[in-house]
């Protein structure tokens, strides 16, 4: 990895999600401090200042920035899980995937039996 942005300082990011590929990718970099925000919280904040219910990426980014700048003390930073917890999470995700495959195959078998 190259030089850290900000000269060794932390970079705060506010995101409208608490899990997913983006969060996991950003957790690889120790200079990011992630502040996940419930999408409903961001929507209510947006509605408090904008009468339009139009939702777009620039407006959402502005809302996240304002939440971070003005209410950072009320936000909880994401704490990365330890190695064992991450491994358990990966195993659970694999299990869910296998269950989905099993369900799909069971449904296909049931449909084939009904057809015959």
Q: How far apart are CA 113 and CA 25, in angstroms?
A: 44
Determine the pLDDT at residue 5.
52
Residue 68 CB neighbours (<10 A): 17
Query: Please, what are the averages of pLDDT over each run of 10 residues along the chain (116 residues)?
Result: 60 82 80 86 79 73 86 82 77 94 97 94
Structural domain spans, the chain: 1-80, 81-116
Structure tokens at 76: 């909880």
Which DSSP symbol is given to 69?
H
Report long-range pairs for 40-47 (Cβ below 8 Å, ≥24 apart). Answer: 41/67, 42/16, 42/67
Determine the pLDDT at residue 30.
79
| pTM for this predicted structure | 0.57
Determine the pLDDT at residue 44.
83
């Amino acid at each position: 990895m190259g030089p850290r942005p900000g000269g060794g300082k932390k970079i705060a990011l506010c995101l409208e999600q608490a899990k997913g590929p983006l969060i996991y990718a950003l957790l690889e970099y120790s200079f990011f401090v992630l502040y996940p925000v419930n999408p409903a919280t961001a929507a209510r904040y947006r509605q408090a200042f904008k009468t339009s219910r139009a939702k777009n990426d620039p407006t959402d980014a502005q809302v996240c920035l304002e939440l971070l700048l003005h209410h950072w003390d009320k936000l909880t930073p994401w704490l990365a899980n330890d190695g064992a917890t991450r491994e358990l999470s990966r195993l659970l995700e694999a299990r869910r995937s296998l269950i989905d495959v099993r369900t799909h195959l069971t449904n296909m078998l049931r449909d084939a039996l009904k057809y015959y």
